Structure 1
Amino acid sequence: MNVTELRGDGAHAHEYRWALPSVLLGDPREGRRVRRSTRDWIVDTLLFLVACGFTFLSLAELESQHQPEPLVAIEQVMGALACVAVWARRRWPVALAIVTALLASYLELVGGASVVALFTVAVHRPFKISGPVTLFNLLTLAPYILLRPQTDLDRMETGALGGAIVLTVFAWGIVIRARRQLVWSLRERADSAAEEAKRLERERIAREMHDVLAHRISMLSLHAGALEFRPDAPPGEIARAAGAIRTNAHLALQDLREVIGVLRHSAPDGDDVVPDRPQPTLADLPALVEECRQAGMDVRFEPAVGDAPEGLGRNLYRIVQEALTNARKHAGGVPVTVSVEGERGKGLSVEVRNPLWARPGARIPGAGAGLIGLTERAELAGGHLEHGATPEGEFVVSAWLPWPVEATQEVDA
Structure 2
Amino acid sequence: MRRILLIVGGGIAAYKACELVRLIRKGGGEVTCVVTEGGQHFVTPMTLAALSEKPVYTTLWDLKNEAEMGHIQLSREADLVVVCPATADLMARMAAGIADDLATTLLLATDKPVMAVPAMNVRMWEHPATRRNVARLRDDGVTVLEPDEGPMACGEYGAGRLPEPEAIWQAIRAFGDSGPLAGPVADPLADPLAGQPDFASENHRPLHGRHVLVTAGPTHEPIDPVRYIANRSSGKQGFAIAAAAAAAGAQVTLISGPVHLDTPPGVERYDVESAAEMLDAVESALPADVAIMVAAVADWRAADRADSKIKKDGSGQVAPLPLAVNPDILSSVAASPARPRLLIGFAAETEHVVSHAQAKRLRKGADWIVANDVSGDVMGGDSNTVHLVTAEGVEDWPAMPKDKVAAALVERIAAHCMKDDA
**TM-score computed with the length of structure 1 as normaliser:** 0.20
Q: Greater relative contact order: 1 or 2 (C-alpha under 8 angstroms, separation 6 or more)?
A: 2
Rg: which structure is higher?
1
Q: Which structure: greater helix fraction?
A: 1
